[in-house]
Structure 1
Amino acid sequence: MADSVLSPDAPFHIVSNAGSGSKDAHEARQQIEAVFAAARREHEFILIENPEQLQAVAKKAVEAATASGGAVVVAGGDGTINAVVQAVLPTRRPFGIIPQGTFNYSSRAHGIPLDTTAAATSLLTAWLKPVQVGLVNDRAFLVNASLGLYPELLQDREAYKRQYGRHRSVALWSGLMTLLRDHRQWVVEVQHDQGVERVQTPSIFVGNNALQLEQVGLDEAEDVRHRRRLAAVIVKPVTTAQLLWLAMRGMLGQLEEEERVRDFSFERMTVRVLSSVGRRGIKVAVDGEIFWCRPPLTFQVAPQPLMLLAPAVER
């Protein structure tokens, strides 16, 4: 799309979890509806009644936006956003976000308001910002992708949230409980811009969100933001106590200083697992969701950007 702004009469096709029936989701949909109705902006909600229908709902929204010349908008967290990105990315349709998640890295990195009404209002005057997308094999990600420890942490976090609620304190507590357990040490061959190396590690993390990388103190944030590169973080073999220390250093923004962590930026990286792999492949975390992937895993920047609807003040 050559224009840098969205046509003022382009309709919004909104993928929303409002079909879940929760009070928060219902209130969010009412707030979004009020903003677009007041602006007389054509829009429709395409509801996710069941999480298993998410891919089908995303495809429906993209098809509708393509037919109408409109934009696809997601009202959800990073995981829901990721699912819709899969469908939107090949089409280059404009893509908007109304954040509804816990951490909302995709929104915060591009100045999108966390308040529902403010985020919806910003879409009315937004501009089209090309945003870098990462790929692990054929799966897109905006925030991060990883194998090893992080997928375990996400699984535990979801279990705790179902029991205690979707709060940051619950996420942090479940993360601590995960770190206290014993973890598998993966033996892998890593091929990247600087050569090939064999490593043993409990976790390989690949970042595509400069804000998240800055928060843990990694210099590669600038490479991700300006140089079309991704950031790799490979944890060296550590004890449970050392792992807890690494987590603390990350929370304090001091991970760059840690010699137990190897970090570098790259354009393309392939990970071949030399230790045993189950029939389903490798469990990989992608923007907060877990998938099974067959090795080897190839991480790279997608050839086409995501056309994000960013607030006009960020231009």
Structure 2
Amino acid sequence: MNSHTPIETPENQSSAAAVKGGDVCVILNPKSGKKETKPDPDELSQMMRRAFDAPCDIKQVSKDHSPTKLAEDAIREGYRIVVAAGGDGTIAGVANALMDTDVAMGVLPMGTFNYFSRGLGLPEDIPEAIETLGRSAPKPMHVGCVNGEIFLNNASLGVYPSILRERETLYKKWGRSRITAYWSVLSGLMGLKRPYDLTVTVDGETTIHKKTALAFVANSAYQLEAFSLDGAEDVRDGSFALYLTNATNWRQLIAHAMNLFRNTTEHGREFQLLIGKDIEIDVGRKKHMWIARDGEKERMKAPFVFNLRENALNVMVPNSA
């Protein structure tokens, strides 16, 4: 099971009513989502109170108050449900604080792509998502880690962190939208100067050496199915799907990206697929590289070790999911 698929065990088949009565806290990223479709904090609080039949407070993300810090504060203050209202980066930040606790995490889709919330079966319309969340139950899920830092959807190294830098620039100029995000992919790919020499070890057994522009570790079956990629069932069964692109220059990458957008990507032609629970990627003489995690980027020290934290996060999942 991956981070989008609940672990079905009898002792965890609790209903939403089991967590009602405890206060609800929403971690709201005011920069996420479109202003015309996003409720203001007071309206959001009222809708949450009605859906959960419980008090609800709003904590807003800012430069000095990260999603992780605000969620840690909410845990100390005794909230039983903490809802991440934002994009996948905001959700991952809240999840980082809630792992290995009894506090349940809810999600409201206010990002650009909302892969995590869509994978849970939540509608993208905010009022509908709040109503669905109020009828949800907390269930344990697996979480991906790279060098100890968590991710819910994916983590990658190579050209994708460059795409994120380009995306941030375009967002500031044109605003957040899926069209802008797609354009940043094409623009970022053209900035590739040279591929990377990687040594990849999967589950301590399979070792390969590959010259590639991108290593992409997927932990979301929903995201893979959205692009008609192989590996979704393996992710549901509790493994990572590692994609190593066969492209080594920007022209090949753009051709592969166009196939991805058209859902015509083929295993073997555009990429090599490896399946495993523990993955280590070495980058030769490089000491540090940029790593992308759920749409956020940071520099990490090599080698890069990917593993699963089983049942580490309790997530509010619609009862029909």
Taking structure 1 as the reference length, what is the TM-score of the superposition? 0.90
1:313 is the counterpart of 2:316: no
Map residues 149-188 of structure 1 onto 2, 5 A cutoff. Answer: 149-188=159-198
Q: 2:28 aligns with which of 5, 9, 16?
A: 16
Residue 121 (structure 1) aligned to one of 125, 131, 139? 131
Structure 1 CA distance, aligned partners of 2:249 and 2:98?
42
Give the secondary structure class of the aligned counterpart of 1:133: strand
CA 235–11 in structure 1, closer or farther in 2 if over 3 Å, else same? same
Match of 1:243 in 2: 253
Percent identity of paired positions between Structure 1 and Structure 2: 30
**Counterpart selection for 2:145 from 135, 139, 142:** 135
The answer for the alignment partner of 1:216 in structure 2 is: 227
Aligned length: 306
- Return 5+ residue gaps in structure 2 as ranges: 1-10
Q: Following TM superposition, by how much is the alpha carbon of 1:81 offset from its aligned partner in structure 2, in angstroms?
A: 0.5
Query: Map of 1:35-50 to 2, 5 A cutoff?
Result: 35-39=47-51, 40-50=53-63
Matched AA of 1:156: E
Tell me what 1:302 maps to.
309
2:294 is aligned with what amino acid? D
1:201 aligns with 2:221: no
| RMSD (Å), alpha carbons | 2.2
Q: Does 1:89 align with 2:99?
A: yes
* Corresponding letter in the other structure for 2:231: E
Q: Quick one: structure 1 residues 205 and 85, their matched pair in 2 at CA, closer, same or farther if it must change by over 3 Å?
A: same
The separation in 2 between residues aligned to 1:101 and 1:25, in whole angstroms, is 12
Distance 2:64 2:182 in 1: 24
Query: Structure 1 residue 231 and structure 2 residue 241: aligned?
Result: yes
Is the contact between residue 146 and residue 204 of structure 1 (CA under 8 Å) also seen in structure 2?
A: yes
Give runs of ≥4 in structure 1 deviating > 6 Å: none
Which whole-Å CA distance do the structure 2 matches of 1:26 and 1:252 have between them? Answer: 30
- Between 49-58 and 207-216, report the one with greater CA deviation: 49-58
Deviation at 1:28, TM superposition (A): 4.3
Larger helix fraction of residues: 1
Is the Cα contact below 8 Å between 1:18 and 1:25 reproduced in 2? no
Do the aligned partners of 2:13 and 2:139 also contact (CA within 8 Å) in 1? Answer: no
Residue 216 of structure 1: how far off its partner (Å): 2.4
2:290 partner amino acid: K
Quote how far apart the aligned CAs of 1:33 are: 1.9
1:32 aligns with one of 44, 65, 76: 44
- The offset of 1:54, in angstroms, is 3.3
Q: Distance in 1 between matches of 2:257 and 2:158?
A: 15
What is the distance in 2 between the residues matched to 1:10 and 1:230? 35
- Aligned residue identity for 1:173: W
> In structure 2, the residue corresponding to 1:313 is in which secondary structure?
coil
How many Å separate the matches in 1 of 2:247 and 2:130?
45
2:74, 2:117 → 1: CA distance? 20
Alignment check: 8 A CA contact 1:142 1:209 kept = yes
CA offset digits 1:242-262 (Å, max 9, x no partner): 211111111122323442410
Q: Using the alignment, how far apart are the partners of 1:4 and 1:35 within structure 2?
A: 23
Q: Is the 8 A contact 1:14 1:61 kept in 2?
A: no
Q: What SS does structure 2 have at the residue aligned with 1:218? A: coil
Quick one: which of 291, 295, 312 aligns to 1:288?
295
Contact 1:59 1:87 in 2 (8 A): yes
Q: 1:56 to 1:246 in 2, by over 3 A?
A: same
Q: Is the 8 A contact 1:48 1:57 kept in 2?
A: yes
